[in-house]
Amino acid sequence: MSPLLEVRSVTRRFGGLVAVDSVAFDVAEKEILSVIGPNGAGKSTLFKLIASFLKTSSGEVIFKGEKISDRSPHEVARRGVVRTFQETTIFRGMTVRDNVIVAHHLRSKASLAGYFFASGDARADEAAFARSADEICDFIGLGEIKDEMASNLPQGHLRALGIAIGLATDPAVLLLDEPFAGMNHDETMRTVELVRGVRDERGVTVLLVEHDMPAVMSISDRIVVLNFGQKIAEGTPAEIRADDKVIEAYLGAEDESIGL
């Protein structure tokens, strides 16, 4: 079976700095794959390249046999590859429910004019979006607070809302940028379950960038490790745990050389 998403020796330079250096890996359908690495390893840059928020310097990203890199973000989203954001990026001036409703944009059947004149399609869309938004809010665990202004939500709920917004687009692949950052153990475990649910119950392939090692080890089917922009390892959590290069990258090679 051919992979759902292929990253083919993607490179991105910023001036003299090579942030991502011919990184290549495949993502299979309904897989949870994590990209990890020390700070500045190029994880977030790689994510932006996959979602076309940045242009590649060379290489390409293929989704279902079609090149999706170097397009505009909304075109990539339309094809089913949707990212959430590292910072808690949401529509702050809307209620939780409105955040999720507006994110149904890609499922629209009516045109802008159709919405203006409340055509049959438009009314059907709006009813369907409202229903689906309620269902997604319940699924994510925001059902109780869906009429709350998004700007009033605590950190943990904001992250969940970010995932809900992503789900509303009906993605094939969801790119989660540090979904566990800044969370305590309980919140992390709850979010891990949530991400599993996204894959198991909704059939969404999940690609995530993360720092939190225990969470990554428990959630991932496979892990790709980056260091200084290069892929240094790829494998199951057990393989990664035992990989010398990974241990070196995280603990630092220089330590050894100075006798520590």
Partner 1 sequence: MGTGLRIAGVLLFLAIVFLGVPWAIQASGRWDFYYTLTSVALLAIASAGVWLTFYIGRINIGQGAYALTGGYVSAILVMQAGWNFWLTLPVAGIFCALVSVLIGLPILRLRGVYFAMVTLVLTEVARLTALALPITNGAKGITSIPLPGEVSILGLTLIPAIDTFGDVKLAFYLVAAALMVIVFAGMYRLVNSRIGHLCRSLQQNEELASSIGVNITYLRIVAYAISSFLGGIAGAMFVAISQSIYPSSFTVVDSVNFMLNCFLGGLAYVFGPILGTLVLYFGWDLLFETGRFQLLIYSSVLILIIVLLPNGLLSVFERKRATAR
Report the interface residues with partner 1, using CB under 8 A. Answer: 51, 53, 72-74, 77-78, 82-85, 89-94, 98, 101-103, 105-106, 108, 112, 115-116, 118, 122, 125-126, 165, 168-169
Q: How far is the CB of 134 from partner 1 (least distance, A)?
A: 16
Q: How far is the CB of 251 from partner 1 (least distance, A)?
A: 35
H or E element: which one contains 247? Answer: helix 244-251
Nearer to partner 1, 25 or 47 (CB): 47
Q: Is 159 exposed, middle or buried (0-12, 13-18, 19+ CB in 10 A)?
A: buried
Q: How far is the CB of 161 from partner 1 (least distance, A)?
A: 11
Strand partners of residue 149? 95
Rounded to whole angstroms, the Cα distance separating 95 from 102 reads 11
Rounded to whole angstroms, the Cα distance separating 19 from 121 reads 45
DSSP letter assigned to residue 2? -
> What are the angstrom distances between the C-alpha of 153 and each of 125, 138, 158, 181, 184?
28, 16, 6, 16, 17
Q: How far is the CB of 167 from partner 1 (least distance, A)?
A: 11
Q: How far is the CB of 87 from partner 1 (least distance, A)?
A: 10
Q: Are 11 and 56 in contact (CB under 8 A)?
A: yes
Nearer to partner 1, 41 or 103 (CB): 103
Nearer to partner 1, 53 or 228 (CB): 53
Residue 176 φ/ψ, nearest 5 degrees: -105, 120
Nearer to partner 1, 43 or 48 (CB): 48
Nearer to partner 1, 84 or 227 (CB): 84
Nearer to partner 1, 73 or 237 (CB): 73
Q: Are 35 and 43 in contact (CB under 8 A)?
A: yes
Nearer to partner 1, 84 or 220 (CB): 84
Q: How far is the CB of 252 from partner 1 (least distance, A)?
A: 34
Q: How far is the CB of 157 from partner 1 (least distance, A)?
A: 16
Rounded to whole angstroms, the Cα distance separating 191 from 85 reads 15
Rounded to whole angstroms, the Cα distance separating 73 from 79 reads 10
